[in-house]
Amino acid sequence: MRTGRRRNAWAALVGAIAVALALPLVPASAEETPSSSGTAEKTVFTVGITQDVDTTNPFTGIAAASFEAYQMMYPTLTEYSAEDFSTVPGLAESWEESEDQTYWTYKIRPGLKWSDGQPLTARDAAYTFNRVINGDIEQTNYGGYTSTITKAVAEDDTTLKLFVKRPSPIMYHLAVYILPEHIWKNIDGKQAKSYKNEPKDGEPVVGGGPFVLVERRKGEFLRFEANPNFYGGKPAADEVVFRVYKNTDAIAEALRKGEIDYANDLSANVFNSLEGAEGITTVPSVYSGFNQIAFNMGAALTDGTPIGNGSKLVLDPQVRLAVAQAIDRQVLADKVYGGFATPGSTVIPPLYRDLHLEPADPVGFDLAAANATLDAAGYTMGDDGVRVSPDGERMSLRLLGRQESSESQKVVEYVKDWLGQIGIEVDVRIVSEDTLYEKVGNGDFDMFEWGWVVEPDPDYQLSTFTCDQRSTDDDGTIIAGLSDSFYCDAEYDKLYEAQKLQTDPAERAAVVRQMQQMLYDSNAYVVTVYYDNPTAYRSDRWTNFTPQPAPDGVLLFQYGTWSYESITPVVEDAGDATSTAAGLTPGLILGAVVGGVGLFLIGYWLGRRRPSDYDVE
């Protein structure tokens, strides 16, 4: 009897657990996401991201998603247009350089308010600029914009004057996020280092951009609500959520299941697998990034002291030309990037239509021509199929690829193959990007594969080829500059300085084009491709995205918040546009049933076994 009772007790316990697990399923299925807080009409636009926002404090973040968040939370003086990256009004409705070129005047829109109702004026802007100019930690992210500015003065609520050391085109687009003085004056430089800038006690973070941050869970999501006080008017989407996923596979699946509404940076395979899925629209989206094979053109410090162990071979322009002729950029675009790329040429991508130079006499893929180039330059083919230089050196070059990128690893494999066919032996090493950065800074390379994402303002990109950006020596430690090719040309540097001071956009563009031609002719970089940003979104829920640039640019993660402001929910599905975990409920029920039955069986088994163990004797 004793054991019989025990068995019943076991079975009953396990059964009760099973029932307890299964019972609440019905109400559970009706449960909403916490983000929609009950009201069904709220429209939530959910973006899947793979790298979490590191911090919502605009002074300390470094992740791409963080800057996307800052753009949503805070205004800037001017913005880049969605159409073609031209300068358009932001917080300032107009701007003007003084006759003597010593200061700029920005007219701030009148009557604006922060999200908490406090007035948003030129004084906030002046406060922010002065804080950056005189700051320490504040310099980290924005020092580059304020290096020419000496001080900021708010003459009245709508007039901001920025005084400059010298004329600079950077004044057209100062991407410094204007912060509310009444909040930030209480956070000094020291506190700002560790200040989280997250919602507290249910109070949103005070902001002036199209959305305000209302909730944040690290590693999980950020939730923004539309800001009714935004100068561009309250956006149509009530809420925007950034949700963190671990990889693009997970993001693609979440999109398919309707957990999110938008995903980008998809791999070609994932993109293709989403194509044609119901309710999903896929767009390749042209992007502002390029990848290149770079050469070591004589690694040296800024004072000209040679460093590193680069091969002499790649110093010969004819060798670099031959390599350029031996790389089939179209094949790389098609096969390595799955068609989501276009063959590259110069260092300013074509989506910057006003600045990009399409070379007049492009170098095409032609192995015969490449061989001829090397033959003519005196590189004779050896018996082992590897050429020998006029000085008797075997043509063996090192090529570094990146561990982090499967495309990079494939590109170097293709390049190795092609160069093998023109008699250049390639020793490929795959290293992490940090190691590559280090090796490049020290000049310990012949060639490498990497890339840049180019800003609408060409200054930064062009600076990477100036003599001043070569490495420097700090007490025996070599510190890398921005230059990774060690290209150094006095003529080029002169042009660089000229464009830096030129505040007339058309004249500046002419100089920028001239510089691209110089770089192209030198083959310091063989720009392999301009890659796309494969994107997919739930077109059954959201429409009216604004690409940047028109007509086929990226839809989000732009220079500006155009799409967040313009998107509207698809009407017939409005109630459903909240990102509920669709498709989850049947799964849950099944899981609970299986689990319950399993537990019951285990319990029954345990109960059944006991008597034979302990009661026979």
Partner 1 sequence: MASDQQTPGRPQGRRAIARARRREALGRGWRQFRTHRGGMAGLGILVFFTLVALLAPVLFPPETISVTQATGELLAPPSAEYWLGTDDSGRSMLALLAWGARVSLTVGIAATLISMVIGTSVGIASGHYTGFGGATLQRLTDWVLVIPFLPLAIVLATVLGGGSTLTIIVVIGVTSWAGTARLIRAQTLSVEGRPYLERSRALGSGNWHQMTRHVLPNVFPLVLTNTTLTVAIAILSETTLSFLGLGDPLRPSWGSTLDQAFSNGAVSAGAWWYIGPPGLCVVLVVLSFTMIGRALEQIVNPRLGRQ
Partner 2 sequence: MSLIQDVAGSGGPDPIPGPPPLPRKEKGSRGLSPGATFALRKTGAALGTLFFVLVVNFFLFRLLPGDPIGMYTRGRNVPPEQLAELRAELNRPVLEQFLTYLRNPFASTIDSAQFNRPVWELVTERIWPTLLLVGTAIVLASIIGVWIGIKAGWKRGKSFDKVSTGVTLTLYSMPEFWLGMILLIIFGVGAFGLPGMFPIGGISSPGVDTSSLAGWLDVAWHMVLPVTTLTLVYLAEYALVMRSSLVDEMDEDYLTTARAKGLMDRLVRRRHAVPNALLPTVTLIFLNLGFTVSGAITVETVFSWPGLGLLSYEALRGPDVALLQAIFLLFSIGVVLANLVADLLYAVIDPRVRS
Tell me if 459 contacts partner 2 by CB under 8 A: no
CB-nearer residue toward partner 1: 69 or 266: 266
Q: Which of 588, 597, 601, 608 binds partner 2 (CB under 8 A)?
A: 588
Q: Please name the residue that has the structure tokens 């290149």.
A: 292
CA distances from 369 to 46, 199, 327 (A): 52, 63, 12
Report the distance separating Cα 195 and Cα 325, nearest Å: 53
Tell me if 587 contacts partner 2 by CB under 8 A: yes
Tell me if 403 contacts partner 1 by CB under 8 A: yes
Tell me if 604 contacts partner 2 by CB under 8 A: no
Report the distance separating Cα 603 and Cα 6, nearest Å: 11
Minimal CA–CA distance to 206: which of 233, 174, 178, 234? 178
Give the single-character DSSP code of 205: P
Q: Residue 47 Cβ, how far from partner 2 at the closest point, in Å? A: 11
Q: Residue 210 Cβ, how far from partner 2 at the closest point, in Å? A: 22
Size of the site for partner 1 (CB under 8 A): 32
Size of the site for partner 2 (CB under 8 A): 67
Q: Residue 449 Cβ, how far from partner 1 at the closest point, in Å? A: 13
Tell me which residues in 541-560 interact with partner 1 (CB under 8 A): none
List residues bridging with 152 in a β-sheet: 162
For 450, list phi and psi in degrees, rounded to 5.
-165, -165
Q: Which of 183, 580, 593, 604 binds partner 2 (CB under 8 A)?
A: 580
Pair of tokens at residue 462: 């062009």
Tell me which residues in 489-548 interact with partner 1 (CB under 8 A): none
Tell me if 33 contacts partner 2 by CB under 8 A: yes
Query: Which partner from the list partner 2, partner 1, none does 267 bind, CB cut-off 5 to 8 Å by kind?
Result: partner 1
Q: Please name the residue that has the structure tokens 């260092």.
A: 347
Q: Residue 612 Cβ, how far from partner 2 at the closest point, in Å? A: 7
Applying CB under 8 A, the span of 21-29, 275-283, 487-495, 541-549 interacting with partner 2 comes to 21-29
Pair of tokens at residue 254: 């979440």
Tell me which residues in 244-263 interact with partner 2 (CB under 8 A): 245-247, 249-250, 253-254, 259-260
For partner 1, what does the binding mask look like between residues 348 and 387, x meaning CB under 8 A?
Answer: ----------------------------------------
For 538, list phi and psi in degrees, rounded to 5.
-85, 95
Query: Which partner from the list partner 2, partner 1, none does 433 bind, CB cut-off 5 to 8 Å by kind?
Result: partner 2
Using only the alpha carbons of the chain, give its radius of gyration.
30
Pair of tokens at residue 481: 């500059």
Query: Which partner from the list partner 1, partner 2, none does 616 bind, CB cut-off 5 to 8 Å by kind?
Result: partner 2
Q: Which of 44, 112, 270, 424 binds partner 1 (CB under 8 A)?
A: 270
Query: Which partner from the list partner 2, partner 1, none does 246 bind, CB cut-off 5 to 8 Å by kind?
Result: partner 2
Tell me which residues in 406-425 interact with partner 1 (CB under 8 A): 406, 409-410, 412-414, 416-418
Tell me if 592 contacts partner 2 by CB under 8 A: yes
CB-nearer residue toward partner 1: 332 or 355: 332
Tell me if 167 contacts partner 2 by CB under 8 A: no
| Bond from prior residue into 549 cis (ω within 30 degrees of 0) | yes
CA distances from 272 to 337, 522, 534 (A): 12, 38, 10
Residues across the chain? 617
Report the distance separating Cα 506 and Cα 212, nearest Å: 37
Tell me if 31 contacts partner 2 by CB under 8 A: yes
Tell me which residues in 314-353 interact with partner 1 (CB under 8 A): 328, 331, 335-336, 338
Q: Please name the residue that has the structure tokens 């090796």.
A: 439
For partner 2, what does the binding mask look like between residues 62 and 81, x meaning CB under 8 A?
Answer: xx------------------
Task: Check residue 235 and give left, alpha or beta (phi > 0: left; psi -120 to 50: alpha).
Answer: beta
CB-nearer residue toward partner 1: 369 or 431: 431
3-state secondary structure 565-576: HHCEECHHHHHH
Query: Which partner from the list partner 2, partner 1, none does 60 bind, CB cut-off 5 to 8 Å by kind?
Result: partner 2
List strand residue ranges (DSSP E) for 82-191, in order.
Answer: 87-89, 92-97, 103-108, 112-113, 119-120, 149-156, 159-164
Minimal CA–CA distance to 523: which of 393, 361, 381, 396? 361
Pair of tokens at residue 198: 């997250």
10 Å CB burial of residue 49 (0-12, 13-18, 19+) is buried
List strand residue ranges (DSSP E) for 315-392, in order.
Answer: 341-343, 380-381, 387-388
3-class state of residue 431 by DSSP: strand
Tell me if 13 contacts partner 2 by CB under 8 A: no
63 within 8 A of 197, measured Cβ to Cβ: no
What does the binding site for partner 2 look like in residue numbers (CB under 8 A)? 21, 24-25, 28-29, 31-36, 46, 52, 54-55, 60-63, 136-137, 139-141, 143-144, 218-221, 241, 243, 245-247, 249-250, 253-254, 259-260, 403-404, 432-435, 437-438, 441, 477, 479-480, 579-581, 584, 587-588, 590-592, 595, 612-613, 616-617
Where do contacts with partner 1 occur on this chain (CB under 8 A)?
248-249, 252-253, 267-270, 272-273, 328, 331, 335-336, 338, 401, 403, 406, 409-410, 412-414, 416-418, 428-432, 435
